[in-house]
A = this chain, B = another copy of it.
Amino acid sequence: MSRAGEQTFVYDRPPRIAAHQSVAGPKEGKGPLASWFDTILEDDLLGQKSWELAEMEMVRRCVQAALNEAQLPDARVQAMLGGDLNNQIIASSFAARALGAPFIGLYGACSTFVQALVIGSALISGGHLENAVCVASSHYCTAERQFRFPLELGTQRPPQASWTATACGCALLNNAEGVGGLRITCGTVGRIIDLNISDANHMGAAMAPAVFDCIAAHMADTGRSAADYDLIATGDLGWIGRDLLLELAGAAKLELPPDRLIDCGASLFYQEQDAHAGGSGCGCVASVGCGWLMKRLEAGDIRRLLLVGSGAMFSPTSSQQAQSVPGIAYAACIERED
């Protein structure tokens, strides 16, 4: 049985997370999670001539670090699955060019890392791949000028705006058996949900309904409840979006205990770091997942995690054309096996 309910893949041969690496930018590296990241950048340009080239280089280094950790030569990587917020996902595709591996480009906005875990795990469990690199990144400076305004303008940010994390996370999955460690045991593919939020700064509100829908589908498909998870970690709803999720869950009588629900975006910065609603961007859930959460699983602090990435599937063009901001979410169940 490889399928539960309507939206959830159950992996018959759950892939193992053979290595995971996280990179955080200078600001992210001064936040509450600083000690959990594998690499903290001193300079968000990484010696490159542009922020876009810097983001590509960040992805390349993060993937390389994961391969080094697992002692897997580049030439043995069977697929890289990834994406980012840049138009035409250039950070990921240029990093894939450097790696030389077969490439599966994904776009799920800020949910892309979990999307990669869900699809990569299915390809490994189905016997199509022996290993897969799952990666996603974001960079404050590339995202800000692409989605909103040139940084040089010094535009004031509204309080509901989130701060796109300069960060990257990479997990190397493989089909090794009987060696313990972390496994991805099932994954849920979300639907596009749109409750007509038209404020393109208000990502938390735009994404919370999709996160709720995805978690509800996951629980219905698997017959589980929040009690079956030590922790449910959403991607980047931020402080406001997390409250909205709890409100939606309350109204639908879906059990979601606040003490076992965290949000990566709401965990990434101190309130006094001026990140407003919290962290966001593909790199947020990727770096917090690969840095903090997978390490907590390995330490035995938690044993079963539901990692829920969420994305806002809009573009500046769709906003300019008065379209609302649809959200999506993917969920991956990550468990520690002794």
Seen from chain A, the residues whose Cβ lies within 8 Å of a Cβ on chain B are 1-3, 6-7, 9, 12, 49-50, 52-53, 78-79, 83, 85-90, 93-94, 96-97, 100-109, 115, 119, 122-123, 125-130, 146, 189-194, 313-318, 321, 323, 326, 328
Closest partner residue, chain B, to A100 (CB atom): B191
CB of A3 within 8 A of CB of B129, answer yes
Q: Which residues of B have CB within 8 Å of A326? A: 93-94, 97
Inter-subunit contact A90/B127 (CB<8 Å): no
Chain B residues near A79 (CB-CB < 8 A): 189
A144 to chain B, nearest CB (A): 13
State the number of copies, please: 2
| Sample of 16 further A-B pairs with CB below 8 A, known A90-B313, A104-B189 | A2-B128, A88-B107, A88-B314, A88-B315, A88-B318, A89-B313, A90-B318, A93-B313, A97-B192, A97-B193, A97-B326, A103-B189, A104-B108, A104-B115, A105-B106, A106-B106
Most buried by B among A1, A87, A129: A87
Least CB distance from A54 to B in Å reads 11
State A146–B321 Cα separation when bound (angstroms).
14
- Which B residues lie within 8 Å of A122 (CB)? 122-123, 126, 128
Which of B85, B104, B115, B126 is A2 in contact with, Cβ under 8 Å?
Answer: B126
Interface contact A6-B78, CB-CB below 8 Å: yes
Q: How far is the CB of A297 from chain B (nearest CB, A)?
A: 24
What are 9 A-B pairs with beta-carbon distances under 8 A? A6-B102, A50-B321, A93-B313, A96-B191, A102-B191, A103-B190, A104-B115, A105-B313, A105-B328
Supposing A50-B321, A109-B88, A192-B93 touch, asked if A127 and B3 sit within 8 A by C-beta, the answer is yes
Chain B residues near A328 (CB-CB < 8 A): 93, 103, 105
* Candidate in A1, A126, A130 with the most chain B CB atoms within 10 angstroms: A126
Known: A315-B90, A318-B94. A192 touches B103 (CB 8 A): yes
- Provide the bound-state CA to CA distance between A228 and B215, in Å: 47
Alpha-carbon separation in the docked complex, A3 to B79 (Å): 13
The one of B96, B102, B107 that contacts A7, using a Cβ cutoff of 8 Å: B102
Q: How far is the CA of A108 from the CA of B83 in the complex (A)?
A: 11
**Residue contact A94 to B323, C-beta cutoff 8 Å:** yes
**Chain B nearest CB, measured from A71 CB (Å):** 19
Assess the B9–A97 pair: CB atoms within 8 A: no
Contacts of A101 in B (CB 8 A): 191
In Å, the complex CA distance between A303 and B144 comes to: 50
- Tell me the smallest distance from the CB of A87 to a CB of chain B, in Å: 4
**Chain B CB within 10 Å — which of A103, A104, A192 has the most?**
A192
Residues in B whose Cβ lies below 8 Å from that of A97: 192-194, 313, 326
Contacts of A104 in B (CB 8 A): 106, 108, 115, 119, 189
Contact A96 B192 (CB under 8 A): yes
- The 7 tightest CB contacts between A and B, nearest first, are A126-B126, A2-B127, A93-B313, A88-B315, A102-B189, A97-B192, A105-B107
| Contact residues in B for A192 (Cβ distance below 8 Å) | 93-94, 96-97, 100, 103
Q: How distant is the Cα of A192 from the Cα of B3 in the complex, in angstroms?
A: 32
